[in-house]
Structure 1
Amino acid sequence: MSRQPEVLWAQRSDKVYLTVSLPDAKDISVKCEPEGHFTFSAVGANGESFNFALQLYGNISPQGCKTKTGLRNILCSIQKEQKGWWRRLLKSEEKPAPYIKVDWNKWCDEDDEDSEANLASDDDVVYTGENEESSDDEGMLYLPDLEKARRN
């Protein structure tokens, strides 16, 4: 008899991430089919068989599906066929099985994805401190301003 491991999911506009919690898994098999059918099977540390099948909300690109096996988890990155946000993980409108949960650590809302991309570009900005003039941005004092204030 097979069991279902805990599955955490999150999405971006172009991908769905599934994290399968199964420590020391062996004989891992993942299948992604274009119409959104996802199949997983593995053998747990005690020789127990684990498997599940999901009918995902939208179509996927099987060649863009990648799996990475860690000591405690199996991470599956599933490429969506068309970029866009899915209303839910599964095609069915029924409540998902209890072993499927949202991965709040990886979750990103539509609005956050754009700002996340902007934050990455903000990290590339280097502040040289060459301007010794007063920099009174919203009442904030910068190091050159503090040194001037101490001298007075």
Structure 2
Amino acid sequence: MSRHPEVLWAQRSDKVYLTVALPDAKDVDVKCEAEGLFTFSATGDQGHPFHFTLHLYGQILPQGCKTKTGSRNIICSIQKQHKGWWQRLLKTQEKPAPYIKVDWNNWCDEDDEKDSTSDLASDDDVDTNIGEEDGSSEDEGMLYLPDLEKARKQK
């Protein structure tokens, strides 16, 4: 019986990144099909088989899928067929399996991607601190004035 490794995912407008947490994996096999079918299989360090199949939200380009195997994980870069932001990773609207999680270290929002100064989002780039004192300049805070005005009108 195969097991499921932890899978972290992040996206850009043109790619989806899957990081499979499987230290010392052997016999890694990744298949990408145009209709969005992603299949992964490998053998763990103790000989246990790991396997999962994902029906991705949109279509992909199989020739644009790349895999890099490291000592702690396998990183899969999946080329989207059509540039744009997916609402979710999987085609189904059901809650994803518990082994699939968002990769907040590499997550990038649409607005963040337009900023040409950053390649990948880091923990410091996550927008959870909006409105909190974060040491940013007053000019940067001006970006959020329309939201403040809307909030004041709703009171």
TM-score, L = length of structure 2: 0.76
| AA aligned opposite 1:56 | L
- Cα deviation for residue 73 of structure 1 reads 0.3
Residue equivalent to 1:18: 18
Identity, in percent, stands at 76
The Cα shift of 1:55 comes to 0.1
- Give matches, 1:1-152, under 5 Å: 1-115=1-115, 117=116, 119=117
* 1:15 to partner: Cα distance: 0.1
- Deviation sequence 1:106-142 (CA, Å, 0-9, x none): 0000011001x1x26xxxxxxxxxxxxxxxxx9xxxx
* CA distance in structure 2 between the aligned counterparts of 1:73 and 1:48, rounded to whole angstroms: 15
CA RMSD of aligned residues (A): 1.0
Larger Rg: 1
- How many residues are paired up? 119
Over 2 Å off, 4+ runs: none
Q: Give how far 1:61 is off.
A: 0.1
**1:58 aligned counterpart, secondary structure:** coil
Letter in 2 for 1:49: P
Following TM superposition, by how much is the alpha carbon of 1:47 offset from its aligned partner in structure 2, in angstroms? 0.2
Structure 1 stretches lacking a partner, 5+ long: 121-137, 139-152
TM superposition shift of 1:67: 0.1
Distance 1:42 1:5 in 2: 10
TM-score (normalizing by structure 1): 0.77
